[in-house]
Amino acid sequence: MSIEKLINHPHIWRGDNSQSSDVVHSTGFKELDSHLPGGGWPTATLTEIILDGYGIGELSLLMPALARLNRPQDLEQAAGWVLWVSPPFIPYAPALNRHGVDLTRMLVVHAGRKHRDSLWAVEQALRNGSCAVVLAWVRSADENALRRLQLAAEESCCWVVLFRPKKALQQRSPAALRLQLLSKRDSIQVEILKCRGGRPKVIRICRGEMGDTEW
Amino acid sequence: MTRSINSLSLLTGETSSSPSDSASQSPGWRKFHKNQLWIAVLLPNISLESHPDYDPNEITVVVEPEEGHHRVVVANKDALEIGINRDLKLSTAYALSSTLRVLKRYPDSERAILEAIARRARKITPVVSLVSPQEFLIEVQGSLKLFGGLRAIKKALQTECECYRLTVSLCAAPTALAALWLVRHRSEDVRTIKKLVGNLGVLPLKVTGWPERTQLTLRSMGLQTIGDCLRLPRDGFIRCIGREYLLQLDRSLGEYDSSLEFRPSQSLSSTFEFMDEVTDPAVLSRVGENLIQELVKVLRKRQVGVASFDIVFQHLHRLATVERINLLGPTQDQERFLRLFLDRLERVILPAPVVALALRTGQAEVVVARNMTLFSNGVRLQPIDAIENLIERLRGRFGATHVFGISFIEEHRPEVAWSKSLDLLVRQNKSAALSFSLTHQRPLWLLPSPIPVPGVPNDFPHCHRQAILLSKFGPERIEAGWWSGKKVSRDYYMALNNKGQRLWIYKDHYGAQNWYLHGIFS
Q: What is the pLDDT along chain B (522 residues), one digit of tens a residue?
A: 333 333 332 233 333 333 333 333 333 334 444 688 889 999 988 888 888 888 888 888 888 887 778 888 888 888 888 888 878 888 888 888 888 888 888 888 888 888 888 888 888 887 788 886 888 888 888 889 899 999 999 999 999 888 888 889 999 998 888 898 999 999 889 888 888 888 888 999 888 888 888 888 888 988 889 998 888 888 888 888 888 888 888 888 877 655 555 555 667 888 888 888 888 889 999 999 999 998 888 888 878 888 888 999 999 888 889 988 888 778 888 888 898 899 888 888 888 999 999 998 887 777 766 666 666 554 444 445 678 888 888 888 888 889 998 888 888 888 888 888 887 765 544 444 455 556 678 889 999 888 887 765 544 433 444 566 665 666 788 888 888 777 888 888 888 777 777 888 888 888 777 888 888 887
How many C-beta atoms surround the C-beta of residue A153 within 10 A? 25
Chain A closest CA to B512's CA: distance in Å?
26
What pLDDT does residue A75 have? 46
Taking contacts as CB-CB distances below 8 angstroms, the residues of chain A near B408 are: 93-94, 96-97, 103
At residue B288, the pLDDT reads 92
Is the separation of the CB atoms in B453 and B504 below 8 Å?
A: no
DSSP letter for B21, please. H
The pLDDT assigned to A101 comes to: 84
Give me the torsion for CA of A141, A145, A150, A155, rounded to 10°.
-140
Structure confidence at residue B468 (pLDDT): 66
B421 touches chain A (CB under 8 A): no
- Are B177 and B11 in contact, with CB atoms under 8 Å apart? yes
Residue A93 amino acid letter: A
* Distance between CA atoms of residues A177 and B397, nearest Å: 30
Instruction: Note the Cα B267 to chain centre separation in Å.
Output: 16
Residue A151 predicted with pLDDT over 70:
yes
Choose, out of A49, A130, A134, A185, the residue to mutate when testing the contact with B (most B CBs < 10 Å). Answer: A130
How would DSSP label each residue in B90-113? HHHHHHH-TT-EEEE--HHHHHHH
Sequence letter at residue A24: V
Q: Does the CB of B74 have a partner CB in chain A at under 8 Å?
A: no
| Cβ neighbours around A33 below 10 Å, total | 16
Asked if A108 is an interface residue toward chain B (Cβ–Cβ < 8 A), one would say yes
> Looking at residue B460, what is its pLDDT?
40
CA B38 to chain centre: 26
C-beta separation of B73 from B64 below 8 A:
yes
| Confidence at residue B34, expressed as pLDDT on a 0 to 100 scale | 64
CATH domain B51-105 topology: MutS, DNA mismatch repair protein, domain I (3.40.1170)
pLDDT score for A87:
92
User: Does A59 lie at the interface with B, CB-CB under 8 angstroms?
Assistant: yes
Pairwise CA distance, residues B272 & A77, whole Å: 45
Measured in degrees and rounded to the nearest 5, phi and psi for residue B244 equal -65, -30
- The terminus-to-terminus CA distance of chain A in angstroms comes to 59
User: A98 CB near a chain B CB, below 8 Å?
Assistant: yes
What tens digit of pLDDT does each residue of A116-148 get?
A: 889 999 998 988 888 889 999 988 888 899 999
End-to-end CA distance of chain B: 63
Would you state the pLDDT for residue B487?
84
Each residue's pLDDT tens digit, B474-490: 678 888 888 877 788 88
Contact B502 A55 (CB under 8 A): yes
Distance from CA of A212 to the nearest CA of B (A): 8
Give the pLDDT confidence of A39-81 residue by residue, as tens digits.
888 888 899 999 887 888 888 889 888 888 876 654 445 568 8
Nearest CA-CA partner of A195 in A176, A170, A169, A211: A176
CA-CA-CA-CA torsion sign (A20, A24, A26, A31): negative
State the average pLDDT over residues A184-190. Answer: 82
Task: For chain A, list the domains and their CATH numbers.
Answer: 24-210 (3.40.50.300)
Domain range B269-370+380-396, CATH architecture: 2-Layer Sandwich (3.30)
Domain boundaries of chain B, sorted by first residue: 2-44+109-252, 51-105, 269-370+380-396, 445-521
Residues 422-461 on B with a CB inside 8 Å of A are 424, 427-428, 430, 432, 434, 438, 441-448
pLDDT digits (tens, 9 = 90+) for A77-104: 556 889 999 999 999 988 888 888 888 8
Taking residues A162-170, what's their average pLDDT? 90
DSSP 8-state symbol, B189: -
ipTM of the complex: 0.86
Contact A105 B428 (CB under 8 A): yes
Interface test with chain A among B343, B445, B505, by most A beta carbons within 10 Å: B445
d(CA B186, CA B169): 7
Nearest by CB: A183 against B427, B428, B499: B499
Q: How high is the pLDDT of residue B385?
A: 66
Instruction: Report the pLDDT value the prediction gives residue B366, as an integer from 0 to 100.
Output: 75
Residue A96 CA from chain centroid, whole number: 18
Residue B372 pLDDT: 62
State the Cα torsion B48-B50-B52-B54 to the nearest 10°: 30
Specify the pairing of strand B418-421 against strand B502-508: unpaired
Q: Could you tell me if B418 lies within 8 Å of chain A, comparing CB atoms? A: yes
